[in-house]
Structure 1
Amino acid sequence: MEKQGHSEMETIPSDSPSYIKLLKTHRELLVTHIRNTQCLVDNLLKNDYFSAEDSEIVCACPTQPNKVRKILDLVQSKGEEVSEFFLYVLQQLTDAYVDLRPWLSQISFSPSQLIQSKIVLNTDPVSRYTQQLRHHLGRDSKFTLCYGQKEEVLLEEMYMDTVMELVDFNNERLGSLDSLACLLDHATGVLDAQGETVFVCGDAGVGKSMVLQRLQNLWATSQLDTGVKFFFHFRCRMFSCFKESDTLCLQDLLFKHYCYPEQDPDEVFSFLLRFPHVALFTFDGLDELHSDLDLSRVPDSSCPWEPAHPLVLLANLLSGKLLKGASKVLTARTGVEVPRQLLRKKVLLRGFSPSHLRSYARRMFPERAMQDLLMTQLEANPNLCSLCAVPLFCWIIFQCFRHFHTAFEGSAQLPDCTVTLTDIFLLVTEVHLNRTQPSSLLQRNTRSQVETFRAGRDTLRALGQVAHWGMEKGLFVFSQEEAQTSQLREEDLQLGFLRALPEPGPGGHQQSFEFFHLTLQAFFTAFFLVVDDKVGTRQLLHFFQEWAPPGEPVATSCYPPLFPFQCLGGGGLAGGDPFKNKDHFQFTNLFLCGLLSKAKQKLLRHLVPVAALRRKRKALWAHLFSRLRSYLKSLPRVQTEVFNQVQAMPTFIWMLRCIYETQSQKVGQLAAKGICANYLKLTYCNACSADCSALSFVLHHIRSQLALDLDNNNLNDYGVQQLQPCFSRLTVIRLSVNQITDSGVKVLYEELTKYRIVTYLGLYNNQITDVGARYVSKILDECKGLMYLKLGKNKITSEGGKCLALAVKNSKSIFDIGMWGNQIGDEGAKAFAEALRNHPSLTNLSLAFNGISTEGGKSLARALQQNTCLRIFWLTKNELNDEVAESMAEMLKVNQTLKHLWLIQNQITARGLARLADALQNNTGIMEICLHGNPIKPEEAKVFEDENRLICF
């Protein structure tokens, strides 16, 4: 067969373009590979090459091969033009005749102008289904739902990119993601070329679902040029609607529960199975599955026709056992981990930076006066700005501002005191409860907050009941029956807290509901626990068991497992399950602390009997103190000569958030007392700017000096502002990899120079320019005890480098300077050379990857001839050549105190190596000269193998 097929694909002579002969010669190839005859008949009819009678003759044939043979007979009998058009249809409809692409290419078919002027109808089921999917996704992604069922906003007007970072398996930053198209780019941020899943993670409210909606919209409007023909979007929470006994085959999951092909579903599915790489699946909210999903324990289901439970199909789609080669984008909240072998790339969503916030304000409020009024109020309240770093909370705050502006005739006023997240959610609840009140131009609604909540008590309690029921069951989707059981009325649904799903749930055709966001469900759960008289102490504190330190017994689950096997991650809630995220429980705890705080009693005593309220407050505080003490005792500690260091975990951040919600100084003091350490390490805790408010609320009670390590979080400039109450205590401040700009550095300058106790300042891998470098120089000038300064991987050029070098030159205390990955160039290097000359304290210096070439390198070498203090000098990844190596060799004849010299990845050849080797004959102090990555051949380096201080490979 292979030989026959090869002979059939031989090209006809170019001087004999007989299309009839071509069809005759390759007749069996065409009969074998043409599966879609209807498309050919439609086009031949459309262009009057076939009559209605011809079409009937073809349709009367009993089998597909017979239909192809009949079409070929009729086409050939009608002459060259019809035969040429037949080939033209095969060429143009690539999806319908995909198997003939190699043959058409090999015969070099080139249609005449006459044939190219003919209309080709694409009635192919695959192409039609692609268009159907585009229409389906375009319709569903064009608008985004807001609070209120009647409010729909164009996605184009609402969406804005946030800070998106490519990270590695250990969440180390690899760089920024410039656009959503880069998510599917095979050249950007790939961790494993064999992986098929792009994993997008981030905190609740940071915009993961919006990213997928925008991605769908781009594909639907043909703005995403990725070669994707099929786009299937699933929300993982919808899989909770299936019963344990439900089974589906893959074709039914994709078509019956997503978008059913208008024609020939079997042919479309067959194409998908043959070419899975043209399909893109998006799965939103892996952490919102009803059960844990352990890929290693889910039954394999590699047969696409074999019925299985939908969760089994989901697991096997993700693992690649089904439709291997299809691309997937998966979202989940921070803390959820996916097996490395599945991941192609990993993206961390960081939310809004200060510049994003300003852009978003312009997007939401086109009127300049409204923009100015809003930003003036926000900038006067850094606490509110910090909350606005989370896009969801930002949108809620903006919506409240818009409401006030409308309701109070242009005199909108956001809260100007300390604002907690509970305050914001109480505010938005009040706003939407008031929407039900009649209003007119002559009479404004003037109800107080107490009156509004008292009037809406039954509605809020009903919403709270369904929210609590779902939270206990681990469900985020509710049936109509469940809503009715909670005594929700139709008018309650219209408030906008619950929204109807755009399509029926997979469990049936009954209407389903969900809360606008899981944080809203958590808020109403907490509200129910507070206001319902029947809720006892044990039920009130149920979700706090998530805080149990290692070794403490904890209930394995809030709800029974859905299956005898466990899906996507084994173990109970406290069993270290990498797939389980507890944010919905933690938000409930946070809102409980806020609602039972002293400041909220004036409101709640009108909704709850005072005795019941007092009892719940007392129980919560006692439990909070007990858990806090237990947790702090469980934290790992490291004792050094200088510091008693405690390594905190993300759970500690949640505890701080809850403590801050109480706004109780007593609770803050007790928390501070329990830390019992002078070095607090909070790296990789996913802390955001709002968390700095909570951190300051506790740490300002510590009277002794303190070291604070917040590297690798997401604090940005607003976070730095929120740390202001702590700076009078901080001697060590580590803020590397935190999106900090010059504005944040200005705050550091203003605060640190007040107290002048800082000894370590870490600002590596931020967004600091020469402006910020000048502020850092002033800190170095005025803080006489500053010993360590880390400024690598910022945006500092020669101007900033010269400012810093001058400050270093004048400092008598600086010990270690890290400037790796800036662009100070030769001018900056010359300035640092002046600083090095006779410097009394600088021991470690990194100027690696700074664009330093010959002149800068020689200046540094000459300066080191007059330096007896520097021990470690890194000049890796610059543009240093043999001239610099010769200057370094001359320096080594004089300088006997330098221990480590790194010249890795420069332009030094064997000539420079020889000069350095000669210099070592007269130098007993240097311990190593590293020359990896220079253009030195192994045989050239072998000459100096006896000098083990020269490291070339």
Structure 2
Amino acid sequence: MEKQGHREMGIIPSESHSYIKLLKTNRELLVTHIRNTQCLVDNLLKSDYFSAEDAEIVGACPTLPDKVRKILDLVQSKGEEVSEFFLYVLQQLADAYVDLRPWLSEIGFSPSPLIQSKTVVNTDPVSRYTQKLRHQLGLDSRFILCYAQKEELLLEEMYTDTIMELVGFRNESLGRLGSLACLLDHTTGILSEQGETIFVFGDAGVGKSMLLQRLQGLWATGQLDAGFKFFFHFRCRMFSCFRESDVLCLQDLLFKHYCYPEQDPEEVFAFLLRFPHTALFTFDGLDELHSDFDLSSVPDTSSPWEPAHPLVLLANLLSGKLLKGASKLLTARTGIEIPRQLLRKKVLLLGFSPSHLRAYARRMFPNRAVQDRLLDQLEANPNLCSLCAVPLFCWIIFRCFQHFHSTFDGSLQLPDCTVTLTDIFLLVTEVHLNRTQPTSLVQRNMRSQSEAFRAGRDTLHSLGQVAHRGMEKNLFVFGQEELQASEMQEGDLQLGFLRAVPELGLGGDQPSYEFFHLTLQAFFTAFFLVVDDKVGTRGLLRFFQEWAPPGEAAAASCYPPFLPFQCLGGSGLAGEDPFKNKDHFHFTNLFLCGLLSKTKQKLLRHLVPGAALRRKRKALWGHLFASLRSYLKNLPRTQTEGFTQVQAMPTFIWMLRCIYETQSEKVGQLAARGICANYLKLTYCNACPADCSALSFVLHHLRKRLALDLDNNNLNDYGVRELQPCFSHLTIIRLSVNQITDSGVKVLHEELTKYKIVTFLGLYKNQITDVGARYIASILDECKGLMYLKLGENKITSEGGKCLALAVKNSKSIFEVGMWGNRIGDEGAKAFAEALRNHPSLTNLSLAFNGISTEGGKSLAWALQQNTSLRIFWLTKNELDDEVAESLAEMLKVNQTLKHLWLIQNQITAKGVAQLVDALQKNTGIMEIWVRRLLEIINITKNENQTTVTHSGFLATDPNRPISTAASIRTPGFTFPGCLLLQRLCLQQQLTPVVKV
């Protein structure tokens, strides 16, 4: 029967070991599914099974099926060995003969040792194209794209991982990603199975492009084991180079504008259309498209052959309307959002942690002595160290250190004073201008920074003009026309600030150029605005309109539309375009503030007349203050627990950065006066450690006490150190989800125990261990007014738990302690039980998800018999059993002050639930008990005016037993017996049920 079934499918097993017979009986199957005859002929020729005449005979056949039939006739005529080799080629070149994989597996073909010793050559067009892609991507990804064109740094030797965090639709944290391969993992972090695009975002300079370069390097060397045969890498700024009238089909976009197959492009493209899941597309920098491009409003196109504008092809690739099933990885700067229906996964890049920074230093400086010296200097300069949390700035700082270390025989140190980002970019510029100077072993170049800038004024002005024109048009790639208009010389291109665009075919035979990073383009734009005599006040403040509310920005908008696509809220700058990022404008404003600061006057007085400089400074300061006042005035205020709270946005962070760049205490004081609220909420503002420098620069001028909420940013330990000037004013400090380790907690301990004014300390979801827990226990001991302590989801074990419990026991002020998601276990639970006995103030306590089992649970239950302060107790997601439930039931008979008890996701069965319910007869205080049992959630609740009784199934308790009117049973979902029980209970107790299904 099985043999007959195979015959019906057109598959004849090789039971007689006659390969000639096997080919003959499956002839039509082979003729139907073999599409590549050239590969077969090439291998038969190479193995001397075919002669040149045989190959000519096959080539003379008019159609593909005729060629296959002729090959089969010739192979069969040459005997069993040739027929076996024919099957061996089909087996070895599985991608070339993908349709025959099931058949080869079914017949169980196993070649003889003689045939296995033969070499099979893969001349399949798809495989050869894959090899070409690997070669091209290998070359493109081998070296780091650096600003010094004379230097070549191997990516393999220099790449260092950054912090990668999975996030949800609202950017809430879903956990860390351990490696690049996890980006493409289909089992973790999936937000929508229907989504096609993995979206990677992060601040400028955080390493998005480097991540893609590393990813393509891994694929090129075969280290990315994800099953991809194709890897297409595009930079989004390339799509802005096409004219509005340009149209092309998908095949031309992939082959003519990326990598062209050496043979049979139609066959390669057909394979790609048939198996799109074998392709990975990466698109770098969505924010570098024109600001009026809207992914959600471009015309749909599902035909891969229909010509369309390249931006339309891009949008339809991301949405899956083209090549559905292909993996797409898109990067953009923070602030860009894409439609939810496109999203498959979101990943936030957070730059270097302290451990990453140390690893990067080891790579950049193999010499241990030099490495130690650099790290020591960074440790002594927290501000410089905080800048190094951004990989781009870290690399620039390290390269400058390398240059000075080699130039001055290692005698020059990094600055020990405050260093701003403007200082770093001025240093980079100086280094490159000095590269043009002749060097000698006898006499080194010792000209000052002022002399270097004065000698290179024309070059800097030309670079600034190119940068400024591009910034005004929101463009980042420049053709020969722009360079000639700015009088750019050939020597200027060799300095390394500009580099040739790697994409071909966009500007004809003449190469196009771009700045090595958008931050450098912003720097030269600001430099041009300062030194050019023709730039007036209006032009100087041109990019500050990006701080204005949407209506004001619309009035000042001068951007022409690029494509006739309807945008969200209008075209240009007129609406709230969610696909437009403003970082390049904000960086320009920041560098403008830095260049016009008082400390830079000595440098610039040789480049611009003093009167013009003073006029521009005055205009800038006036506008900066007006913008800050207007922004703060328009922030919504809420009254909460005696505080006037404002929720600031990332724009406020940029304003603070600009104020910090001025390095003027007067400016900081004036800015501080504008902060009227006493609760500043800066959650989800993408603040980095360097932003804490700016925040402290302003806030330390305040004369009032302040609540500061910085939850869900990326401050890490450097940021905590930079906040030191603020701690004398802070009563509420929220630093949850910020990559803070024990080192940062040590700084908190040193500062908070000086002033002893803190009342709320939030450190939820950081990297704190038992070492940090000891510091926090000391804070609780010394700060007598500390009421709230949030330490959930750290790495605290029983040792740290015992330290904290002892501090809680001794505290007379603590009101709430959150320890959810640590691992204090039974030993830690016993310590907290001791703290609970007769505690005077602790009202809310969470020990959920802490590995607490029977002994720890019983200790807590017994302790609560001697406690009258606790009102809310979370023990969710532990290992508590019926024995613990019995102890808790006994506790409820005594403790009349506990109101809410959460026991969900433990090991309590119906027996334990029954004991808890029985205890309600003697308890009039409890309002809510949550217990999950299989598919039921038993919830015992009380409202002020009525008791609610609901149940999901029959509960093994006597329905005739009176239930206290102070309590009830409630669960979602109903069965018929449960409804009957509910009705009976309500009638007996004269209750009005409020049923929630």
Q: TM-score by structure 2 length?
A: 0.93
In 2: Cα distance, 1:379 partner to 1:837 partner: 45
Which residue in 2 is equivalent to 1:89? Answer: 89
Which residue in 1 is equivalent to 2:765? Answer: 765
CA offset at residue 98 of structure 1?
Answer: 1.1
Residues 647 and 681 in structure 1, CA contact (< 8 A), matched pair in contact too = yes
CA offset at residue 502 of structure 1?
Answer: 2.9
Which residue in 1 is equivalent to 2:977? Answer: none
Choose the corresponding residue for 1:949, options 946, 953, 968: 968
Which residue in 2 is equivalent to 1:353? Answer: 353
Q: Which amino acid counterpart does residue 510 of structure 2 have in structure 1?
A: Q
Residues 546 and 574 in structure 1, CA contact (< 8 A), matched pair in contact too = no
Question: Bigger shift: 307-316 or 789-798?
Answer: 307-316
Change (3 A) 1:824 1:490: same
Which residue in 1 is equivalent to 2:262? Answer: 262
CA offset at residue 239 of structure 1?
Answer: 1.2
CA offset at residue 146 of structure 1?
Answer: 1.4
Answering whether residue 74 of structure 2 is matched by residue 74 of structure 1, we say yes
Which residue in 2 is equivalent to 1:575? Answer: 575
Answering whether residue 465 of structure 2 is matched by residue 451 of structure 1, we say no
In 2: Cα distance, 1:942 partner to 1:207 partner: 59
Q: Which amino acid counterpart does residue 383 of structure 2 have in structure 1?
A: N
CA offset at residue 665 of structure 1?
Answer: 1.7
Q: Which amino acid counterpart does residue 404 of structure 1 have in structure 2?
A: F
In 2: Cα distance, 1:321 partner to 1:162 partner: 33
Aligned with 1:554: secondary structure?
helix
Which residue in 2 is equivalent to 1:536? Answer: 536
Q: Which amino acid counterpart does residue 713 of structure 1 have in structure 2?
A: N
Q: Deviations over 1:443-471 (max 9, x none)?
A: 11111111111011100000000000100
Which residue in 2 is equivalent to 1:826? Answer: 826
Which residue in 2 is equivalent to 1:636? Answer: 636
Residues 291 and 567 in structure 1, CA contact (< 8 A), matched pair in contact too = no
CA offset at residue 216 of structure 1?
Answer: 0.2
Which residue in 1 is equivalent to 2:666? Answer: 666
The equivalences for 1:236-247 within 5 A come to 236-247=236-247
In 1: Cα distance, 2:605 partner to 2:779 partner: 51
Q: Which amino acid counterpart does residue 901 of structure 1 have in structure 2?
A: L
Q: Deviations over 1:82-132 (max 9, x none)?
A: 112211211211111111112222222222222222211111000111111
Residues 762 and 790 in structure 2, CA contact (< 8 A), matched pair in contact too = yes
Aligned with 2:201: secondary structure?
strand
The equivalences for 1:593-672 within 5 A come to 593-672=593-672
In 1: Cα distance, 2:59 partner to 2:204 partner: 57
Residues 501 and 512 in structure 1, CA contact (< 8 A), matched pair in contact too = yes
Residues 706 and 729 in structure 1, CA contact (< 8 A), matched pair in contact too = yes
Residues 145 and 151 in structure 1, CA contact (< 8 A), matched pair in contact too = no
Q: Which amino acid counterpart does residue 55 of structure 1 have in structure 2?
A: A
Q: Which amino acid counterpart does residue 78 of structure 1 have in structure 2?
A: K
Which residue in 2 is equivalent to 1:873? Answer: 873
Question: Bigger shift: 927-936 or 487-496?
Answer: 927-936
- The percentage of aligned residue pairs carrying the same residue is 83
Which residue in 1 is equivalent to 2:718? Answer: 718
Question: Bigger shift: 660-669 or 160-169?
Answer: 660-669
Q: Which amino acid counterpart does residue 631 of structure 1 have in structure 2?
A: Y
The equivalences for 1:182-197 within 5 A come to 182-197=182-197
CA offset at residue 81 of structure 1?
Answer: 1.7
Which residue in 2 is equivalent to 1:751? Answer: 751
Q: Deviations over 1:306-359 (max 9, x none)?
A: 111111111111111111110011000001001111111111000011111111
Change (3 A) 1:521 1:289: same
The equivalences for 1:37-52 within 5 A come to 37-52=37-52
Which residue in 2 is equivalent to 1:116? Answer: 116
Change (3 A) 1:556 1:509: farther
The equivalences for 1:806-821 within 5 A come to 806-821=806-821
In 2: Cα distance, 1:569 partner to 1:850 partner: 49
Aligned residues: 951
Residues 238 and 505 in structure 1, CA contact (< 8 A), matched pair in contact too = no
CA offset at residue 901 of structure 1?
Answer: 0.2
Residues 239 and 506 in structure 1, CA contact (< 8 A), matched pair in contact too = no
Change (3 A) 1:944 1:536: farther
Q: Which amino acid counterpart does residue 468 of structure 1 have in structure 2?
A: H
CA offset at residue 506 of structure 1?
Answer: 2.4
CA offset at residue 6 of structure 1?
Answer: 7.0
Change (3 A) 1:574 1:805: farther
Which residue in 1 is equivalent to 2:845? Answer: 845
Question: Bigger shift: 461-470 or 367-376?
Answer: 367-376
Residues 549 and 630 in structure 1, CA contact (< 8 A), matched pair in contact too = no
Change (3 A) 1:609 1:585: same
Q: Deviations over 1:377-430 (max 9, x none)?
A: 111100000000000000111111111111111112111111111111111111
CA offset at residue 4 of structure 1?
Answer: 13
In 1: Cα distance, 2:730 partner to 2:8 partner: 81
Question: Bigger shift: 843-852 or 13-22?
Answer: 13-22
Which residue in 1 is equivalent to 2:944? Answer: none
Aligned with 1:496: secondary structure?
coil
CA offset at residue 267 of structure 1?
Answer: 0.3
Change (3 A) 1:13 1:721: closer
Which residue in 1 is equivalent to 2:979? Answer: none
Which residue in 1 is equivalent to 2:905? Answer: 905
CA offset at residue 284 of structure 1?
Answer: 0.2
Question: Bigger shift: 670-679 or 864-873?
Answer: 670-679
Residues 649 and 682 in structure 2, CA contact (< 8 A), matched pair in contact too = yes
CA offset at residue 933 of structure 1?
Answer: 5.3
In 2: Cα distance, 1:303 partner to 1:117 partner: 45
Q: Deviations over 1:653-674 (max 9, x none)?
A: 0000001111122221222111
Unaligned runs of 5+ in 1: none
In 2: Cα distance, 1:13 partner to 1:322 partner: 40
In 2: Cα distance, 1:11 partner to 1:640 partner: 76
Which residue in 2 is equivalent to 1:198? Answer: 198
Aligned with 2:153: secondary structure?
strand
Aligned with 2:692: secondary structure?
helix
Which residue in 2 is equivalent to 1:283? Answer: 283
Q: Deviations over 1:856-895 (max 9, x none)?
A: 0000000000000000000000000000000000000000
Question: Bigger shift: 3-12 or 322-331?
Answer: 3-12
CA offset at residue 432 of structure 1?
Answer: 1.0
Which residue in 2 is equivalent to 1:420? Answer: 420
Which residue in 2 is equivalent to 1:510? Answer: 510
CA offset at residue 949 of structure 1?
Answer: 3.4
In 2: Cα distance, 1:942 partner to 1:542 partner: 74
Change (3 A) 1:5 1:87: farther
Q: Which amino acid counterpart does residue 226 of structure 1 have in structure 2?
A: A
Which residue in 1 is equivalent to 2:334? Answer: 334
CA offset at residue 783 of structure 1?
Answer: 0.2
Unaligned runs of 5+ in 2: 938-951, 973-997
Which residue in 2 is equivalent to 1:860? Answer: 860
In 2: Cα distance, 1:341 partner to 1:182 partner: 22
Q: Which amino acid counterpart does residue 772 of structure 1 have in structure 2?
A: G
Which residue in 2 is equivalent to 1:222? Answer: 222
Q: Which amino acid counterpart does residue 752 of structure 1 have in structure 2?
A: L
Which residue in 2 is equivalent to 1:309? Answer: 309
CA offset at residue 8 of structure 1?
Answer: 5.7
In 2: Cα distance, 1:566 partner to 1:612 partner: 42
In 2: Cα distance, 1:53 partner to 1:419 partner: 77
Residues 910 and 933 in structure 2, CA contact (< 8 A), matched pair in contact too = no
Which residue in 2 is equivalent to 1:727? Answer: 727
Residues 243 and 507 in structure 1, CA contact (< 8 A), matched pair in contact too = no
Change (3 A) 1:607 1:505: farther
In 2: Cα distance, 1:216 partner to 1:949 partner: 60
Aligned with 1:646: secondary structure?
strand
CA offset at residue 641 of structure 1?
Answer: 4.4
Which residue in 2 is equivalent to 1:369? Answer: 369
CA offset at residue 934 of structure 1?
Answer: 5.2
Q: Deviations over 1:628-685 (max 9, x none)?
A: 1111111111013410001100100000000111112222122211121000000000
In 2: Cα distance, 1:944 partner to 1:685 partner: 55
Question: Bigger shift: 551-560 or 256-265?
Answer: 551-560
In 1: Cα distance, 2:889 partner to 2:156 partner: 62
Aligned with 1:129: secondary structure?
helix
Q: Which amino acid counterpart does residue 941 of structure 1 have in structure 2?
A: L
